[in-house]
Structure 1
């Protein structure tokens, strides 16, 4: 099984080929190709390489599928004895990407 751990949009993701992942909103158009160069770990069968902090000569190619909004989060604040409260909702903007290729130059 071939997989990698990458750093994208301020988070780390365990990725596999042909799967979809939701990242924080990226400033790219749907259908564009993205190249992730910050690969922290890569595994291909028995071969495993861990970067310190990143692995050299390895990149991940992905395609932007679409932009979407995440699940709604309700934020409710209340101050006791003051008779005040506030309720806000938030939907995180996300970008869905599909992993096309993990390039390895050994």
Structure 2
């Protein structure tokens, strides 16, 4: 099983080929190809490569499937004994990316 750990938009993801992942909004058009090059770790059938901090020879090709919004999270702030309450909702803008290939050069 071939997988990689990638840093994208400040977070780290365990990436496998043929699966799709939801990242923070990437401002590109639908159907375009993107390249992820901040690869921290690569496991290629038991052969493990670890970057310092990134692997320069590894690229991950992906295709943007859709732009969507995440589930609503409720932020509720209350100060006790002050009669102060604030309820606020938030939906994160996301981009769904299909991982097509992990390329080691």
Q: TM-score range by the shorter chain?
A: over 0.9
CA drift at 1:45: 0.8
Q: Which structure 1 segments of 5+ residues have no match?
A: none
Q: Which residue is equivalent to 1:61? A: 61
Q: Which residue is equivalent to 1:96? A: 96
- C-alpha distance in 1 between matches for 2:79 and 2:15: 43
Aligned residues: 105
Runs ≥4 in structure 1, deviation > 4 angstroms?
A: none
Residues 38-97 of structure 1 show CA distances to partners (whole Å, capped at 9, x for unaligned) of 111111113211011011211000000101111110011122222221111000111100
Q: Which has the higher strand share?
A: 1
Q: Which residue is equivalent to 1:7? A: 7
Q: Which structure 2 segments of 5+ residues have no match?
A: none
Matched, 1:70 2:70: yes
- C-alpha distance in 2 between matches for 1:11 and 1:81: 38
| C-alpha RMSD over aligned residues | 0.9
CA drift at 1:22: 0.5
